[in-house]
A and B are shown apart, each in its own frame.
Chain A
């Protein structure tokens, strides 16, 4: 007994030390998570308040600072949907999608093709062209607004959706091209070479091999383009003048008009609806966004 006692004491001391370490780790974790949760909540608060307020009456919005409505009502949604124009909000949603869908679709196609060209082919003037493309990234958007407006006016495209998506269909978004080029550069060429040996031409290689490998990047491009276009205010403001062609962003502004009293709950309710598509699309695409690429195709 006497011989073993010091051993047991040692063991006990060790356990105590371990317990202390474990407790400290737990306290650290608690502090970390509290801070993270608090900051996260702070970031999310405007959104939560927005959703809460959209169910409040117009007068409660200003009297109740909390985000849970005292007497929840759908009035904001019902009245807001009707709008003060001859059209319901459905019309504005439809207008938005008439811009967003072709824009996203054609951006994906054109940016992928241009990026493929820059990343995989040698052609005269490639360096200069690519430098020009990157240079347009640095150019403030505002600078090109006036010449662009004059151009589209001369073509006769004013008050139509065309000026809003056609430039993107011609790979006008340098950022996306750049993003895809960078992504492509990281993908080994072996698979494309294998496809060429298998008899694929450049376009077939692009469609059957490169696009599937680029999928996560292309989804990111679509996602960004979708969200940016949904949120675009200046573009429609400049080019679209008739109310029946207004997208959501302009329609929301329409509610805040000098001619009528502000119905904040309607505006907020419609704002909630306006951000819903973007949220849905984001959460749907999130999986692909994170998904790794080309695992196993090339060893090492």
Chain B
């Protein structure tokens, strides 16, 4: 096993389009790193550059101590699981698993043993004699993982491997892959994983660390908790979390202990926020997660007043969409605390929890409420 380093990695296509803008990323040995971002953020391109399926036009990629820029994919010590599984349609499952080892001219007994071990680990023993077209989506996915696992690579690369599965299967495969990663670690052969997804649930639940990307730039690399609690910028704040963080334009003034002006309403900067604030005042983007926007009785001093637009009953909680000063806000309210008589057009009041308010600079988007 080995770690992985990306140094100023760039990708410029022949038509001069620059997809990846000099990214730096260090992935530790045995770490589960998730690359996440909206479509077109170059997360797959980055993965394909690590795999060697895409040329690197600038910077270097290091696996272990080797710069692999000019190495063929097969010589990089990687294994990859593709979104479409990419099983060889004319080979039976056993041959699909053993193909890589056969190319390396390993003895037949060794291939048979490895195939048996891997198929046991992934519970695909009974599928070995089948062709890929005789497999269900979940089975094909497990075979694809097996084909990667059998090579005992330095680094595992996953390219949106679960996006073709239905929701239920996706959840169970998610657990399976995480479980496999933990098991390998426990067995003393930790696997370094780079996992690309656009699904933040996968990212949050699977990754040791998550790298959020946008337009070929890395926006933040952190563990899931930090990413959620201390987003480095408005993009990460908005991208991570369900429902999305409320992000609205506001103005910050630092006089009188600090005030945030949102349209005609003014929000006092409470001490819990003031001590973290590093913004000089002026145009900001105010960020409050729906979970941190507390529904309070109307008339509560310092609360934001708004009108109800839509009430979404989710079961254990209610998503309350409200209009505050022309901005759309969502607040998540536990079902048992929700006043069922509320209807569209009713006036409501919210109290943003000061501990969780984020202040982003409107120009740079950087979070100015993370403390010094």
Q: Mark B41-83, 1 if CB is under 8 A from A, else 0.
A: 0000000000111000000000000000000111100111011
Judge whether A199 and B134 touch: CB under 8 Å.
Answer: no
Asked if B228 CB lies within 8 Å of chain A CBs, one says no
Whole-angstrom CA separation of A296 from B72 in the bound complex:
28
Q: Mark A195-217, 1 if CB is under 8 A from B, else 0.
A: 11111110010001100110100
Residues of B within 8 A of A204 (CB): 103
- Other-chain residue from B52, B89, B134, B147 in contact with A294 (beta carbon distance below 8 A): B89
Judge whether B133 and A199 touch: CB under 8 Å.
Answer: no
Residues of A within 8 A of B135 (CB): 296
- Other-chain residue from A190, A200, A297 in contact with B74 (beta carbon distance below 8 A): A200
Whole-angstrom CA separation of A191 from B85 in the bound complex:
8
Residues of A within 8 A of B151 (CB): 198
Judge whether B164 and A300 touch: CB under 8 Å.
Answer: yes
Minimum distance in angstroms from B11 CB to a CB of chain A: 15
Asked if A193 CB lies within 8 Å of chain B CBs, one says yes
- Other-chain residue from A198, A209, A298 in contact with B100 (beta carbon distance below 8 A): A198
Residues of A within 8 A of B132 (CB): 296-297
Asked if A253 CB lies within 8 Å of chain B CBs, one says no
Please classify how large the interface on chain B is, using the bins under 10, 10 to 19, 20 to 34, 35 or more. Answer: 20 to 34
Contact A197-B89, Cβ < 8 Å, known A190-B84, A297-B133: no
Whole-angstrom CA separation of A208 from B103 in the bound complex:
10
Judge whether A197 and B73 touch: CB under 8 Å.
Answer: yes
Whole-angstrom CA separation of A294 from B133 in the bound complex:
8
Interface residues of A in 178-204 (CB under 8 A from B): 188, 190-191, 193-201, 204
Whole-angstrom CA separation of A197 from B84 in the bound complex:
15
Whole-angstrom CA separation of A295 from B140 in the bound complex:
13
Residues of B within 8 A of A293 (CB): 89
Judge whether A209 and B164 touch: CB under 8 Å.
Answer: no
Asked if B177 CB lies within 8 Å of chain A CBs, one says no
Contact A209-B88, Cβ < 8 Å, known A197-B79, A297-B132: yes
Residues of A within 8 A of B222 (CB): none
Q: Mark B147-172, 1 if CB is under 8 A from A, else 0.
A: 10001000000000000100000000
- Other-chain residue from A188, A194, A196, A201 in contact with B88 (beta carbon distance below 8 A): A194
Asked if B90 CB lies within 8 Å of chain A CBs, one says yes
Asked if B9 CB lies within 8 Å of chain A CBs, one says no
Asked if A287 CB lies within 8 Å of chain B CBs, one says no
Whole-angstrom CA separation of A193 from B85 in the bound complex:
11
Asked if B293 CB lies within 8 Å of chain A CBs, one says no
Judge whether B53 and A197 touch: CB under 8 Å.
Answer: yes
Judge whether A199 and B103 touch: CB under 8 Å.
Answer: yes
Interface CB pairs A-B, < 8 A, 10: A188-B84, A193-B53, A194-B86, A194-B147, A197-B52, A198-B99, A199-B75, A199-B104, A215-B90, A299-B85
Seen from chain A, the residues whose Cβ lies within 8 Å of a Cβ on chain B are 188, 190-191, 193-201, 204, 208-209, 212-213, 215, 293-300
Beyond A194-B80, A204-B103, A299-B164, 15 additional contacts (C-beta under 8 Å) are: A188-B84, A188-B86, A190-B86, A194-B86, A194-B147, A197-B100, A198-B74, A198-B147, A199-B100, A201-B74, A295-B89, A296-B87, A296-B133, A297-B85, A297-B88
The 4 closest A-B pairs by CB, nearest first: A296-B133, A297-B89, A199-B74, A190-B86
